Chain A
């Protein structure tokens, strides 16, 4: 998901750019809009669902500060 989070953001930027240029037909606009909101929802869910996990690896040495 970390890859696709970044990809999702890149796609969002692309969608905004197309919408800003505004040359596309209305149907395409609505298509992009729903794709954009879906990506936003997906990214938001990814951030919300995150569960912090800490793994401590063993080390052979003593670990005095």
Chain B
């Protein structure tokens, strides 16, 4: 009995047959697969090749460039992913493959992975470095605002700026803050302000929303525009708990748009009260100085010389009198002393007087007006005078030889 001759397939036919079976299965057309990436390879063409595995099995997978370009994170080995794809067979190898349509990190959202990855890359590049943070001016003349003109954020910002510091001019550059092209528009707005030198400080942000709504502010193009801005940027994206890449790059992060406006300008009321306190202070200091000077004056006024100038003259007069009296005393003392010395001299002279000798019986012998003290001076018949105590007698020498 003839059995139907078995169909003999070539390998190509076999693989195509099996591929057909797989391709016809509705379940395999849209299938979710979860697993871990390994043997990851990003081909220069843009296609991504990898093996998806779990603890006990593995399957080859490919993501073509078209789909891969829409990924918001960079796949890495060891990453757990959730894949939506199609199962088919790769006829050349005879192995079936998972053709990935979309993929996201399993467990944490794709966006947060993308966020972390961009954050890490930009941090490494130094975009968040404190060294690049520009100071926010204290008294800005123009405050630039980059946000949606229809949102609540712009009203909040306007209200706060108007209330706190109406001195500043507000320049709004409406920008698309979510959806496709939003990041590019925000970046462009920041560049425009810089090109026009249109503000002293920039507030860049938007009101709260989902992570997807805020996503523009996590894009690299915004980060770079903020970083390159010469004008200091205050970032104000979403609510207090929302952190975006823009917040990290900005010179100052504000928890909300209203807070950004408060950080951008000083409070006029505070400034006015500060001025008043300056006024009080310098008034007090000046009064104090005047009082000091007044006290100095008072002190001088209270001195004796200023109160009774005549007192000084009297004092001088008294002093003069004292000196003159002293002078008189000194002079008269001297006179007495001279008198004394004179009497002493007189007594001395008296003692030496020849009259005293004569009175004791001696006589003074004179010849021709000269006192004779030797017999040799005299000759016989010389006329001599003898002075005695009570008068003079004339005599003649009779002999000169006798002793």
Physical interaction between A and B:
yes
Q: Which of B169, B175, B288 contacts A22 (CB 8 A)?
A: B288
Complex interface: chain B residues within 8 A of A2 (CB): 137, 139-141, 200
Given A47-B271, A50-B167, decide whether A16 and B172 contact each other with a Cβ distance below 8 A: no
Question: What total of A-B pairs shows CB separation below 8 Å?
Answer: 118
Per-position 1/0 for A11-50, Cβ under 8 A of B:
0100110011010001001101100110010011011001
Complex interface: chain B residues within 8 A of A61 (CB): 175-176, 181, 185
How many interface residues does chain A have, given as a range? 35 or more
Q: Which of B148, B167, B189, B198 contacts A64 (CB 8 A)?
A: B148
B101 within 8 Å of A (CB atoms)? no
Complex interface: chain B residues within 8 A of A63 (CB): 148-150, 174-176
**Chain B interface, >50% SS class:** mixed
* 11 further A-B pairs in the complex, CB-CB below 8 A; given A12-B278, A59-B189: A16-B278, A22-B285, A22-B292, A32-B282, A32-B286, A33-B286, A56-B171, A61-B175, A61-B176, A61-B185, A65-B151
| Cross-chain contact A54 with B178 (CB below 8 angstroms) | no
Min CB gap B206→A, angstroms: 8
Interface centre among A57, A61, A65 (most CB of B within 10 A): A65
Given A19-B282, A19-B285, A26-B293, decide whether A52 and B170 contact each other with a Cβ distance below 8 A: yes
A43 to B278, CA, bound (A): 11
Given A63-B175, A64-B179, decide whether A19 and B169 contact each other with a Cβ distance below 8 A: no
Interface size in chain B (residues, C-beta < 8 A) = 50
| Cross-chain contact B171 with A57 (CB below 8 angstroms) | yes
Q: Which of A43, A46, A55, A65 contacts B170 (CB 8 A)?
A: A55
Complex interface: chain A residues within 8 A of B170 (CB): 52-55
B239 within 8 Å of A (CB atoms)? no
Complex interface: chain B residues within 8 A of A43 (CB): 271, 275
Per-position 1/0 for B273-291, Cβ under 8 A of A:
0010011011101101110
Which residues of B, 276-330, contact A by the 8 Å Cβ criterion?
A: 278-279, 281-283, 285-286, 288-290, 292-293
A61 to B245, CA, bound (A): 23
14 contacts between A and B (CB under 8 A): A5-B139, A6-B138, A6-B139, A29-B289, A33-B283, A37-B279, A40-B278, A46-B167, A52-B168, A53-B170, A59-B175, A63-B149, A63-B174, A65-B148
| Cross-chain contact A55 with B275 (CB below 8 angstroms) | no
Q: Which of A15, A46, A51, A55 contacts B282 (CB 8 A)?
A: A15
| Cross-chain contact B173 with A22 (CB below 8 angstroms) | no
Complex interface: chain A residues within 8 A of B150 (CB): 63-65
A22 to B149, CA, bound (A): 55
| Cross-chain contact B282 with A52 (CB below 8 angstroms) | no
B268 within 8 Å of A (CB atoms)? yes
Complex interface: chain B residues within 8 A of A20 (CB): 285
Q: Which of B167, B172, B278, B279 contacts A47 (CB 8 A)?
A: B167
B96 within 8 Å of A (CB atoms)? no
| Cross-chain contact A47 with B272 (CB below 8 angstroms) | yes
| Cross-chain contact A33 with B282 (CB below 8 angstroms) | yes
A47 to B107, CA, bound (A): 55
Complex interface: chain A residues within 8 A of B139 (CB): 2, 5-6
Per-position 1/0 for B142-176, Cβ under 8 A of A:
00000011110000001001100111111111111
Q: Smallest CB-CB separation from A8: which chain B residue?
A: B275
